Every structure is written in structure tokens, then in C-alpha cells.
Amino acid sequence: MSSDARPTLAGTARALLRRDLRLLWRRRGDALQPALFAILVVVLFALALGNERAMLAAVAPAVLWVAALLSGLLSLDSLFRGDAEDGSLEQWMLAPVPLAWLVLVRTLVHWATTALPLVLATPLLAELLALPHTLLPVLLLSLALGTPLLSLLGAVVAALTVGMRRAGVLLALLALPLYVPVLVFGAGSLAAAAQGFDPTGGLLLLAAGLALALVLAPVAAATALRIAHA
Amino acid sequence: MPPTSHAAAPLIDVRGLCFARNDVPVFGPLSFAVDAGEALLVQGGNGAGKTSLLRVLAGLLDGAGGEAWFGGAPAMPASRARHVAYLGHLPGLKADLSALDNLEYLCGLLGRRDSMDFEQALGVVGLAGYEDAPVRTLSAGQRKRLALARLWLSPAPLWLLDEPYANLDLPGIELVNRMVQVHLDGGGGALVTTHGAYAAPPVRTRLLLLDPAPAAGDVAGRAA
């Protein structure tokens, strides 16, 4: 048995990635739901606020960020629930790689399939809200840094609540306090840029938070999964 | 690890292992060992702690005391994962994916023997022709067979089988016994839980009786 394929970090990540992409392809409709939800929120805001472009442009950063945050919250419960219910989580724990690694891969795939489409649709949504074009790079950068941070923070909360039958509102209650700083710095950097100030400070704080969460959140989520699953 | 290291040491050596749930003892302390080419049949009524024992050994639950040694080395997460293949009640199959996709994913996660390929393994468990069938369309027994195919591909020398006969028809029970036998002939070992002795595999088998009464349970002799 010496020539056996021993699972490596890269090998397990590839297996998990392929599985998630195949699952996504089998359920193509579900995958677009978060992005559609965000688009819906933004369109409703645009309709409700009327055609005052100045007013729209003023609230655009906040609306876009809140839409991204809420749509992330919407898909958070599906992060580990399916895997917990069919026993996949048990197989993760049995795998010869750290559980935190698999949690990180799963979270990043989840981000790429739920939040990334939204980030890609942002220029369109920004146009809808009459966001000044000069702010678009700052908006995209803040979302590109902020949404993975939201996913990683959300992974910890989703892992904590995976043992419960219906975690809906509890999940939101637990996640929102963690999301608030991200929202403040994300939307704040945009607001600063809109007033002509330098947005770098907020963006750097987001980047620092992301770097920290990339290392710590998977470990915390893995621990929470073990507790919830014992 | 080199094959020589577990030629002499037992595949698993359990010393004074016990487990408690919310401070209520479930089983133990237990001491037993399983050598290469040996099967340990774990018997006991419902709630006796059969599943808990296997989950503790697989590392899914923390034991309350005692220790388990694998192939002559104390249990560490990574080495344990390479040493043990666990077949539980939930096989971890994705209902939307095909049998072959599921097998590929699980083997990518848990490792597989190079000498076997997926189609071969599906043939062994009697699922030839179901490669592209979504697992959703398979019966409970067929899903069990798919989980057995994963086990068949696993490179781990020690199998922990939790109720492997559940949901299986008579040929399926026959299949499990044949698989265990081949695995043991190849130098592997197995722990098998079951309600009754109706399906004991025809191999060198020892019996571990778990008593439902708390804090009781010991190794009771040899059978067959």
C-alpha cells in the first residue's frame, strides 16, 4: 500500500472545489439568488427615491454596501448546513488535512459563487444609482476587500449555528454586530472619497481585517464546527 | 509510515478508553487490541455506546479518558486519518451529484488506493451501470453500497464499520462479509458494530460486548 495517493492540501482543495462547482452547475438557479436579491434591493431604492440624481448619488454607497451585506447574509446559512445534514462534515473531520483548511476552501468557494457575481454586477448597479464614475474604483475595491471579509466572519457564525434546525434570525443577530465594522469602513471609505477625502485609510483597515480573518476565521469556524457536531 | 512499523504492533491498541456524555458515562473503561488480519465485532443493544465507541476511535468525538494507539504510535489527528477508514450512518453523499462524482470527491478528500479505479470499485459493490445516476435516485441500500465502494478504495488499514449491514439485502450482507474478509487477508483489520450476530463475517473474529448499563463493558472471549 505504499504507492497510495495520499491527500495533500492542494489535492483536497481541488476535490472540494470540483464538487462545489459541480453542485453549483446542477443548481444554477440557486447560485444567482444573492446577486438577484441585491439587484432587487438596489432597483427598489432607485424607484422609491425617484429621479433626483443628486439624492441617489448621495445614498448610493450606503445602499450598495447594505445590499451586498444583506445578500451575503441570505446565503450564509447554506454555507455548512447541507454538508452537516448529509454527513459531509464528518468526512471533512476524517480527512488527513486540517479541518480549518477545508473550511477556508469552502468559504472562499462560497464567496466566489455568491458574492463575486454581485461584485461583478456592481458597475451596473452603480450606474442605476447614479454613482459618480470617479467613485467606482473605490467602490469596487472596497467590495472586493469587504465581501470576502464578510464571508469569513459569517463562516464563524454559520459554523456556530449549524447544529440548530432553523438558524435564520439567530444567524442574522449573531452576524450583524460582526458585520457592522466592515460596513462602517467599507461605506465610510466611499463617503470619504465622495467628499474629496483620501479613502485609503478605510480600505487599508478592510485589507488588514481581511488578512487577519483569512488566518483566524477558518480556525475559529473549524473549532465551532467540531463543537456543534459533537 | 513504513509498513514494518505496524507489522508487529497491533493496528489499534485501546487502553482504558471511556466516554461520557454530559458527565453520564456511556461506555468504558475499555481495553482491547486489534491485530492485522483480525476483526472485532462490537455488539450491544441500542444505546450501549457502539456508535460512540467508533466515533471516539475515528476522532469525531473526544474520549473522557484512556488512550488509543494506532500501529504502535499514539493517536494524532493526521496519522489517525491515514490509519482509519470510518463508515458511519451518514455517508456524506451529495444527492445532486452522480455516483462517480461522489466517489471521486470522497477519494480526493480521504485518499485512495492507486491499484483500484472508480469503475472497478463500483463494480465490486454491484453498482456497475449506475456511474452517472444522481445519488438522489439511488435507494438507501444502493447508497450504502456506494459508501462501501469508497471504503473499498480507502488506503487505511483499519476499518471502523458502524452497522454496515443496515439497509442491505442478503447479497449486500454477503458483500460486506466478503469485503471484510479480503481486507483482513490483505493485512487489514476491522471493527464492526452490529445488533446481533446474524451477519458475522467468516474470519478470525473477536467479540466485544457493550453493556447498556453505565460504566460496564469488557472483552468477552473469542468466537469463531
We report the CATH number of the domain holding residue B28 as 3.40.50.300
Is B104 a member of any domain? no
Task: Indicate the domain borders of chain A.
Answer: 9-229
Task: Tell me the mean pLDDT in the region A57-78.
Answer: 89
Is B28 a member of any domain? yes
Which pLDDT score is estimated for A139?
93
Which pLDDT score is estimated for B102?
93
Is B207 a member of any domain? yes
Is B65 a member of any domain? yes
Kindly report, residue by residue over A159-215, the tens digit of the pLDDT. 999 888 777 788 989 999 999 999 999 999 998 898 889 999 999 999 999 999 999
- What percent of chain A clears pLDDT 70, i.e. is strictly above it? 98
Which pLDDT score is estimated for A182?
95
Q: How many residues does chain B have?
A: 224
Structural domain that includes position B210: 5-91+157-223
**Could you tell me the pLDDT band of residue B215, with boundaries at 50, 70 and 90?**
very low
Which pLDDT score is estimated for A3?
45
Tell whether A4 is within 8 A of chain B (Cβ): yes
Kindly report, residue by residue over B23-80, the tens digit of the pLDDT. 888 887 888 888 888 888 888 888 888 888 999 998 888 878 888 888 888 878 777 8
Which pLDDT score is estimated for B90?
87
Number of domains, chain B:
1
Which pLDDT score is estimated for A4?
58
Q: Which residues of B touch A88 (CB under 8 A)?
A: 92, 94
Task: Tell me the mean pLDDT in the region B82-111.
Answer: 90
Nearest CB to B112; choose among A5, A16, A88 = A5
Q: Which residues of B touch A14 (CB under 8 A)?
A: 108
Distance CA A107, CA A68 (A): 16
Which pLDDT score is estimated for B197?
56
Question: B92 and A16 in contact by Cβ < 8 A?
Answer: no
Distance CA B26, CA B54 (A): 13
Kindly report, residue by residue over A118-171, the tens digit of the pLDDT. 899 999 999 888 888 889 999 999 999 999 999 999 999 999 998 887 777 889
- What percent of chain A clears pLDDT 90, i.e. is strictly above it? 53
Is B37 a member of any domain? yes
Q: List % helix, strand, coil for chain A (3-state, nearest 5).
A: 80, 0, 20
> A102: distance to nearest CA of chain B, Å?
9
Q: State the best of B110, B117, B160 to mutate against chain A, taking most chain A CBs within 10 Å.
A: B110
The residue among A62, A66, A229 whose CA lies nearest residue A150 is A66
Is B214 a member of any domain? yes
DSSP secondary structure letters along A145-192: HHHHHHHHHHHHHHHHTTTSS--HHHHHHHHHHHHHHHHHHHHHHHHH
Distance CA B24, CA B12 (A): 26
Q: What is the mean pLDDT of chain A?
A: 90
Which pLDDT score is estimated for B218?
45
**Rounded to the nearest 5 degrees, what angle is found at the Cα of B59, between the Cα atoms of A229 and B103?**
80
> A225: distance to nearest CA of chain B, Å?
11
Residue indicated by cell numbers 474470519: B203
The answer to whether residue B220 scores a pLDDT higher than 70 is no
DSSP secondary structure letters along chain B: --TTHHHHS-SEEEEEEEEEETTEEEEEEEEEEE-TT-EEEEE--TTSSHHHHHHHHHTSS--SEEEEEETTEE--HHHHHHHEEEE-SS----TTSBHHHHHHHHHHHH-B-TT--HHHHHHHTT-TT-TTSBGGGS-HHHHHHHHHHHHHH---SEEEEESTTTT--HHHHHHHHHHHHHHHHTT-EEEEEESSGGG--SSSEEEEEPPSSTT--EEEEEE-
CB pairs under 8 A between A and B: 101
Task: Tell me the mean pLDDT in the region B142-160.
Answer: 92
> A155: distance to nearest CA of chain B, Å?
20
Q: Which residues of A touch B95 (CB under 8 A)?
A: 86
The answer to whether residue B213 scores a pLDDT higher than 60 is no
